[in-house]
Amino acid sequence: MKLIFGPMFDAGLGEVPMASLLAEIIRTMGAYAGGAGTPKELQLIIKQLLYFERYSKEFAPDWPMFRDLYLMRNVFPDAVAARLAAGDVVLPE
């Protein structure tokens, strides 16, 4: 996860090379899937991420999405809980 998403943590969405990120996800998945191909579900997710990239670069190019604790609390709940426990951040309800 860190290898793939690492470049996104400090970058705004306008700086994130989504196409290369998605290619890296597919390469990583292929290494573990034994050449089974890309599942249709993953293809649909990739398509949606490319749409997301298009609009995010236009409307929120400076937003560092992966530093938004409100969004990341579902992905990294322990890390966000630790940050909230430190008391320096408050999330909206």
pLDDT in tens, 53-81: 888 888 988 887 777 888 888 878 888 88
* Angstrom distance (rounded) from CA 18 to CA 87: 33
Instruction: Report the domain count for the chain.
Output: 1
Q: Within 10 A of 91 (CB to CB), how many other CB atoms are there?
A: 11
Residue 28 lies in a domain: yes
Model confidence at 3, pLDDT cuts 50, 70, 90, reads low
* Angstrom distance (rounded) from CA 43 to CA 40: 5
Asked if 64 contacts 10 with a C-beta cutoff of 8 angstroms, the reply is: yes
pTM score of the predicted model: 0.53
pLDDT at 1 exceeding the cut of 70: no
Residue 18 lies in a domain: yes
Residue 6 lies in a domain: yes
Tell me, what's the pLDDT at 35? 64
Tell me, what's the pLDDT at 22? 78
Q: Which domain holds residue 13?
A: 2-63
